Structure 1
C-alpha cells in the first residue's frame, strides 16, 4: 500500500489551518511548522483550494484558512481532493479488475482493501486528529 506525499502533506496542512481558524496562515508558515517542502506544499494547497477545503486571500494580510469546520472534513475528502482515487493498482482503480484462472478471486481482495480504506478514511475527521487543546479555541488565541 502507498499513501502519497500529497495526501500526507495535505492533511498536515489542513490540521495546521484547523488550529488557527481565525487568522490566515501562509504556505511558508505551514511548510515550516510541518517540515514540508514549500514548493510542493504550494501545489497541494492549490488543489485543496480548488476542492473548497481551503480558502485564500491575496495581499499582505492574506494567506489560507480552512474551508469549513474541521469536524466537517474527512480524511477521505482530502485524499480524493489531491489523489482522486484512494487505491489504485498499476494506476487503475480496482473496481474493474478481472483476472483469469487461479487468480480470479484476487481482485475481490483488492476491492475489499479499497472498501476498508474508504470506510476508515470516511470515518475520521480532521477534528478527530487534533489534540484537545486545539479544539474549540476562542478566536485570537495563540497555539500552546
Structure 2
C-alpha cells in the first residue's frame, strides 16, 4: 500500500486532534506539532471538515476539533476522505503457475482495508 503525503498528513493531523484536550486546536499548533506545511494542512483540514470528521471555529479563540469521539473515527475514515474509494485495477489473469498471485493481491488488499477499519484514533493516541 502506498500512502500519499496528503494522507499521511491527514492521519497525523487527526491524531493531534484526538490527543488534544477538549476545545478548538489552532491549525498553527497542529502544523508545528506534526511538522506539516501550513498551506497544505489548511486544505486537508477543509477537506476533513467538509466530510464531517472535524468541526471548526473561526477567530482568535478558534481552531479545529473532532466531530466524533476518537474511538469512533478509524484510520479508514480519514483515508477514504483524502484518497476516495480505492479503484483497484484488476490485472489480467496470470498464466500458468503464477495464477494464484491474483488471489494473493486480493487478500492483501482486503487485509489492508480491514486493518485500517479496525484501528481507531483513540488507539493511536493511547500508544
| Residue in structure 2 matched with residue 36 of structure 1 by the alignment | 36
In 1, are the aligned partners of 2:7 and 2:82 still within 8 Å (CA)? yes
Q: CA deviation at 1:19?
A: 1.9
What is the rounded CA distance, in whole Å, between the counterparts of 1:108 and 1:85 in structure 2? 21
| Residue in structure 1 matched with residue 3 of structure 2 by the alignment | 3
SS of the residue 1:130 aligns to: helix
| Residue in structure 1 matched with residue 92 of structure 2 by the alignment | 99
- TM-score normalized by the length of structure 1: 0.77
For residues 17-48 of structure 1, the C-alpha deviation after alignment (integer angstroms, 9 at most, x for no partner) is 11224221121110001111111111111111
Q: Map 1:1-144; keep pairs closer than 5 Å.
A: 1-86=1-86, 92-94=87-89, 97-100=90-93, 102=95, 105-131=100-126
Name the one with the larger helix percent. 2
What is the rounded CA distance, in whole Å, between the counterparts of 1:100 and 1:130 in structure 2? 42
What is the rounded CA distance, in whole Å, between the counterparts of 2:119 and 2:34 in structure 1? 20
For residues 47-101 of structure 1, the C-alpha deviation after alignment (integer angstroms, 9 at most, x for no partner) is 1111111101112221111111000001111110111135xxxxx424xx14145
- TM-score normalized by the length of structure 2: 0.87
Q: Which runs of 4+ in 1 moved over 4 A?
A: none
Structure 1 unmatched runs, 5+: 87-91, 133-144
CA RMSD, Structure 1 to Structure 2 (Å): 1.9
Structure 2 unmatched runs, 5+: none
